[in-house]
Amino acid sequence: MDSVIIREFRHTIEDARQLKEIDQLTFRDCPYNEMEIIEIAKDPRNTIWVAEIDGRIVGFISLLQVQTLHYKGLWVDLIAVVPSYQNMGIAGKLLTYGKRFAGILDVDFVSGLVAANNPGSQKAFKKSGFQPLEKDFHLFIFDRRQEHDAKMERI
């Protein structure tokens, strides 16, 4: 196996196809086609880095710039590695690039939400110098897709 190359996502159908494939293998819920993925990646607040081995994308990190009245930050929106390439340090390399990018943007911090039942991601974040925030927060989500589905049922 050649070494891991980290590069920015190219706005091509092939890169988008590979990202969608990785998302399907890891999260199984990407609702977008390749052209929509390219458009999302073009948003200036969103930066995607990919990990490539032997010319094939084997992982990616999607970073979203956020700014509020309280802070300027970088949010690890998604990080995924092809299952057969997990536990090889690829997620750590992607997180390192995320931290370097945060330095270029001069943001206050980098954060990411990791599922309680995802020890692999927790380990990658901790090994990369991230620390869990010891505060009790609850994630509240308003899913407009569900609201839309409910309205459609009434029609």
| pLDDT tens per residue across span 81-113 | 999 999 999 999 999 999 999 999 999 989 988
Q: How confident is the model at residue 9 (pLDDT cuts 50, 70, 90)?
A: very high
Residue 42's contacts (CB-CB under 8 Å, 6 or more residues apart) are 11
The CATH number of residue 119's host domain is 3.40.630.30
Write down the pLDDT at residue 153: 59
Write down the pLDDT at residue 149: 60
HSE-up of residue 147 (Cα within 13 Å, Cβ side): 4
CB 2 within 8 A of CB 54: yes
Q: How confident is the model at residue 66 (pLDDT cuts 50, 70, 90)?
A: very high
Write down the pLDDT at residue 138: 73
CB 64 within 8 A of CB 77: yes
Return the amino acid letter for 6: I
Range of the domain at 82: 5-154
Domain count, the chain: 1
